[in-house]
Structure 1
Amino acid sequence: MTVFKRLRITAGALAFACLASAAMAEDLRIATEGAYPPFNYVEPSGEIKGFDVEIANALCKKLNANCTIVAQDWDGIIPGLLAKKYDLIVASMFITEERKKQIAFSDPYYASAMTLVAPKGAGLTDLTDKGLSGKTIGAQAGATQADYLQATFPSADIRLYPNQDEVNLDLASGRLDLEVGDMVPMAEWLHNTADGACCEMVGEPIRDPAFVGEGVGIGLRKEDDTLRQRINAALKEMREDGTYQAINDKYFDIDIYTLK
């Protein structure tokens, strides 16, 4: 056999291997909210971006998967997964016992904590139900922030909103006395937006596992346990090879995997 023929055979074999590999790549649909910057948001062009989206895309590379990212309103995000509209939820979802009754989760891909936010100079020091009785407090409906608000401040005037942006807008506009939100996006809003300059965090970080769970995880159907194990292995590899840190550093000044 001539060298030329050997080269032709080798090239053909490589091409076949590449085609076979592409054929073996699985198709996955991934849902995110698209209304929770900097974790997930929709650009004016319609493109979905953010930390969650980049984590999802990096994960898909590790899994050798062809992924499609779709935006889904928060209230319908778990029902959509159970109805098989998509295969995974990568949307900054707290891993809670209540949610684990419906779906499975990956290992956490970042740490969780909530915080109270008030207008600067509001003088809110008694952050008990009695101290906040009659105050107007907002949170995102269907989220663990709303559960915390309703359980902790039943004497307050509670207002729930479709998404976090609307909560923030009403706080900045003076229509709320206080809000509860996830610590990392609240810090980003306070320090890096014009509207956020109105306000500040008050009180201690909220770390009660009944509300913030075990961290933030990727949601999937309970029957997809093999996929869950592969996701956990890929997340571990992303932490070890620097992929995760590179994405983290594009968005945050701290390591949100540990909140340090």
Structure 2
Amino acid sequence: MLHLSVQTILRRASAGIGIGFVLAATLPFPTTAQEHMPMRIAVEGAFPPFNYLDANNKLQGFDIDIANAICKVGEFECQFIVEKWDDMIPDLVARKYDAIISSMSMSDERRQKVAFTERYYNSPSVFIVRKDSPIKDVSPAALTGKNLGVTSSTAQQSFAKHLYPQTHETVFRSSPELYKGLSDGSVDIILEDKLAIYDWIANTKAGSCCEFRGPDLVDATYFGDGSGIAVRLDDSERLARLNAALKSIKADGTYDMINAKYFPFSIE
């Protein structure tokens, strides 16, 4: 069984880097260096139900379970690093970790900076409003002048910036803050990954205030072809090994078991 424990706290003084910390995964691997590849995995830890810190400060969620399964099957020696979303791609490129398994959509813009595995799940984006909202039409023209909430450095923010320029955009640092902004009336409407917010709407008292509005958004230019694991562009060996491990957990039923733990429908 996987055991996660806090190993160290990384304090960063330079502006924009923020505070991260490392959680090491003690896995039942032999120590043969030729067979087992070390891998530091970046995860946000603030995107339930995909990745979050529980009351004991341990990482939980769909992304974490998928990462653990891949680490076991792919014979990786894995260490999780909790990091600010905005810093993930720059710090991956700077070799501060080796992979990002944090519900990162494979947009065209990101593909210029990092390489992605095959998709490990797919989710459309969607607008969400309070149930008493008069907003019925979510077209760019209809939302002119409305306060639209998005999360910083996400595909949803990029989509809104380019296709909804006449809205008043409010940028939140994390998904929980985005949801609170909608429920307390700080914004009129938000744009979010549909699966990410599903649990909040369906299973929490706070989320009962709100509902989806308008069609699912599946623009590949901004949202890519689902979510993948990101590695550096030159890390072809790790990319191939991750793809093989991902294929394996889908073939042996592990993926389906993890899927069923979080969603009553397939997200593959």
Q: How does the TM-score come out when normalised to structure 2? A: 0.86
Which residue number corresponds to residue 167 of structure 2?
156
Matched ranges for 1:28-177 at <5 A: 28-177=39-188
Q: Tell me, which stretches of 5 or more residues in structure 2 are unaligned? A: 1-28
Structure 1 residue identity aligned to 2:49: P
Q: Deviations over 1:149-204 (max 9, x none)?
A: 11222111110111111110010111111000001012211101111100000000
Q: Deviations over 1:73-127 (max 9, x none)?
A: 0000001101111110000000011101100000000013100000002131222
Cα distance in 2 for residues equivalent to 1:190 and 1:87: 34
Which residue number corresponds to residue 222 of structure 1?
233
Cα distance in 1 for residues equivalent to 2:188 and 2:159: 16
Which residue number corresponds to residue 257 of structure 2?
246
Cα distance in 2 for residues equivalent to 1:124 and 1:144: 23
Cα distance in 1 for residues equivalent to 2:88 and 2:192: 19
Cα distance in 1 for residues equivalent to 2:235 and 2:202: 40
> What's the offset of the Cα at 1:22?
7.2
Pick from 186, 192, 196 the counterpart of residue 203 of structure 2. Answer: 192
Computed over aligned residues only, the root mean square deviation of the Cα atoms, in angstroms, reads 1.4
Structure 2 residue identity aligned to 1:70: I
Q: How does the TM-score come out when normalised to structure 1? A: 0.89
Q: Tell me, which stretches of 5 or more residues in structure 1 are unaligned? A: 1-17
Note if contact 2:108-2:222 (Cα within 8 Å) is conserved in structure 1.
no
Q: Which moved more, 1:35-44 or 1:149-158?
A: 149-158
Hey, which of these two has a bigger chunk of strand by percent? 2
Which residue number corresponds to residue 248 of structure 2?
237
Hey, which of these two has a bigger chunk of helix by percent? 1
SS of 1:57's equivalent in the other structure is: helix
Cα distance in 1 for residues equivalent to 2:122 and 2:137: 27
Cα distance in 2 for residues equivalent to 1:254 and 1:170: 28
Note if contact 1:112-1:213 (Cα within 8 Å) is conserved in structure 2.
no
SS of 1:200's equivalent in the other structure is: strand
Structure 2 residue identity aligned to 1:180: L
> What's the offset of the Cα at 1:20?
5.9
Note if contact 1:90-1:218 (Cα within 8 Å) is conserved in structure 2.
yes
Cα distance in 1 for residues equivalent to 2:32 and 2:74: 12
Which residue number corresponds to residue 210 of structure 1?
221
Structure 1 residue identity aligned to 2:98: D
Identity rate, percent:
35
Cα distance in 2 for residues equivalent to 1:138 and 1:231: 34
Structure number with bigger Rg: 1
Cα distance in 2 for residues equivalent to 1:242 and 1:19: 24
| Equivalences, count | 240
Note if contact 1:191-1:197 (Cα within 8 Å) is conserved in structure 2.
yes
Structure 2 CA distance for partners of 1:62 and 1:197, relative to 1, 3 Å: same
